[in-house]
Amino acid sequence: PLVKLLATAEYDIKKEAAWAISNATSGGTAEQISKLVENGCIRPMCDMLVVNDTRIVIVALEGLENILKVGEQMRRMPGTDGTNPYGRLVEVAEGLDKIEALQDHPAEEVYEKAVHILEHYFDADEGEDQNLAPAMDTGAYAFGAPPPGAQTFDFGAPG
């Protein structure tokens, strides 16, 4: 019922449900957190990442991080495929896109939590630096000596 309230109730009820689920993930066992995930809490928690209430966004990020921590424990268990199963569920729920968008949030705490989650659970720090500047064509409009065999223009020699 709590997860259903988070997914379908009016906003004030959703806020309270988000708090309750986040608190449960904070103090709950891995089994209890897994049960919340089985009941479908990831998508509605991801949906709370776009509300216009900084405190609730932080609560949702904290709850999702606690869920992802359990997923990391599961990832390390023998017989698994080595991926965080809850990370995949966050991606399917469009949560990864929402967390990435929170890097532009005006509240510093939201930004920091979003970056932390991306770096620790989604390998966001790998390959990101490549996209900071466009690639340059190393030969176009470069100053220096012309390549061997290239025609040159002589400013001083009369024609």
Over residues 33-45, mean pLDDT? 97
Question: Which pLDDT score is estimated for 145?
Answer: 52
Residue 98 phi/psi, 5-degree rounding, is -70, -40
Residue 80 pLDDT class (50, 70, 90 cuts): confident
Is residue 144 scored above 70 in pLDDT? no
Is residue 142 scored above 50 in pLDDT? no
pTM (2 decimals)?
A: 0.77
What gap in Å lies between CA 84 and CA 73, rounded to an integer?
Answer: 8
pLDDT digits (tens, 9 = 90+) for 101-123: 999 999 999 999 999 999 999 98
pLDDT digits (tens, 9 = 90+) for 9-22: 999 999 999 999 99
More confident residue, 102 or 150: 102
What gap in Å lies between CA 38 and CA 32, rounded to an integer?
Answer: 10
Sign of the CA dihedral 79, 82, 87, 93? negative
Question: Do 145 and 130 meet the contact criterion of CB atoms below 8 Å apart?
Answer: no
